[in-house]
Copies of this chain bind each other. A is one copy, B any other.
Amino acid sequence: MKPQLSDNLCFALYTASNALTRAYRPLLERFDLTYGQYLVMQALWLEDRVSLTELSRQTRLDPGSLTPVVKRLEGKGMLTRTVSSEDERRKVIALTETGQALQQQAAALKTELEQKTDIDPEVIDTLRRHCLTLADQLTRVC
């Protein structure tokens, strides 16, 4: 069979990731969040009052990428960044009431998107777990 671009995992993954980002965009717009900001907020909804290093670890984003995102969220009133009293190198990133309140509203997003697609939830879960496996393996060897 003639080879195709979709034979490649890197194309498939890249395309799916971009498609998901695109799909979320109009839904996130109502909360004035970008996709990247939304992922960071999700991490904070799970564990509030963390350092940037810890948030970097949880989100698997480079601190250099994370600082501007977190700063932008601070500017939007979603969170605050204060110097830790224990270690002045460290910042404490804490959700504001506005940021916390958004959790409930944002929770419906995933459901809304799931209802739009026709994919078996088991397939979604297999995909999710395989993505995590791949990410873990790649991170380990590099």
Contact A16 B118 (CB under 8 A): no
A96 within 8 A of B: no
A72 within 8 A of B: no
Contact B135 A16 (CB under 8 A): yes
Q: Given A117-B137, A119-B134, A142-B23, does the pair A58, B16 have CB atoms closer than 8 Å? A: no
Min Cβ gap A129→B in Å is 8
Q: In the complex, which of the residues A7, A128, A138 has the most CB atoms of chain B within 10 Å of its own CB atom?
A: A138
Contact A127 B9 (CB under 8 A): yes
From B10, B23, B119, B130, give the contact of A35 (CB < 8 A).
B10
Per-position contact with B for A104-129: 1 when CB-CB < 8 Å, else 0?
Answer: 00000010000011110001101111
Contact A15 B110 (CB under 8 A): no
Which residues of A, 27-85, contact B by the 8 Å Cβ criterion? Answer: 35, 38-39, 42-43, 46, 58-61
A102 within 8 A of B: no
Residues of A within 8 A of B (CB): 3-24, 26, 35, 38-39, 42-43, 46, 58-61, 110, 116-119, 123-124, 126-135, 137-139, 141-142
Closest 4 CB pairs of A and B: A16-B131, A17-B17, A12-B131, A127-B130
